[in-house]
Amino acid sequence: MSQQVKVSRSLEFLGDANQELNVKGYMNPEKINKEYNYTELALDDTNKYTPYLDTTSTVALGSGGLILTTAATDTKTCTQSQGGIWWYPAKKPVVEIKLQIDVITTVAINAGFTDAVSEGSATLPFLISGTTIADTCTNGVMFCFDTNQTTDRWYVVNTNAGTQAGTITANAPVAATDATLRIEIDALGNARYYYNGVQVGYKALATAVATPLVPYVGIRNNSAAAHVATVRYVRLWCDA
């Protein structure tokens, strides 16, 4: 019998194995894994999370996940970083974020990796006007949607040492509907982008290999109405 088990899809436990202890020995994964499901009683904004709240914007736990709500004033921003834990591109990090937006009018949203633990201003790491991409981070890879852009579809964006780029995808956000956004960075800093499990973009040398990153979600309103993003989970992996 082989001493190695390779699984190409999923490992499923049936019968008694589905309800009893089913692993013997010491589990010792080669990958580092971290998952945020927002099931705690209170957010630890000192050691675990780093929010930015623009005036009366709020970050709060809700029954469906983490709720980011912007102030009801034009250009107000609400962001959340899974701060304090750096993820190095040389270790091939992966971030997967499941979220939804209440409406897809007059709003901008970012999700992915940035080199800034906290965006301490009323801007997101990436904004789009027409087809022009602007960044406030120096290194990062993100999904970006901004209703100030020409076509209402997700962009895959990146910046490497302050040189930003972006490509529009064929996928449009849908109001009040969950979307799963995943970005994989390889050891060279190349990035692959996945929308609901399907690859939708690739950026060569997307971010500097030596610059650590943090997972990030941010929302900004482009009008005088408040906007809400609900983050279901954030999952992360990298080499040990």
Other beta carbons within 10 angstroms of residue 176's beta carbon come to 11
Class of domain 32-238: mainly beta
Contact 221, 106 (CB under 8 A): yes
pLDDT at residue 46, as a whole number: 84
Complete DSSP assignment for 141-154? EEEEEETTBSS-SP
pLDDT value for 86: 86
Query: What is the H or E stretch that residue 53 is in?
Result: strand 50-53
Mean pLDDT, rounded, for 166-173:
98
Reference 142, options 104, 171, 114; nearest CA is 114
On average, the pLDDT of the chain sits at: 93
**What phi and psi, each to the nearest 5 degrees, are found at residue 138?**
-95, -35
CA distance 106 to 74: 9
What's the rounded mean pLDDT across residues 192-221? Answer: 97
DSSP-derived secondary structure letter, 17: G
Q: Is 23 exposed, middle or buried (0-12, 13-18, 19+ CB in 10 A)?
A: exposed
pLDDT of 47: 82
Residue 83 pLDDT more than 90? no
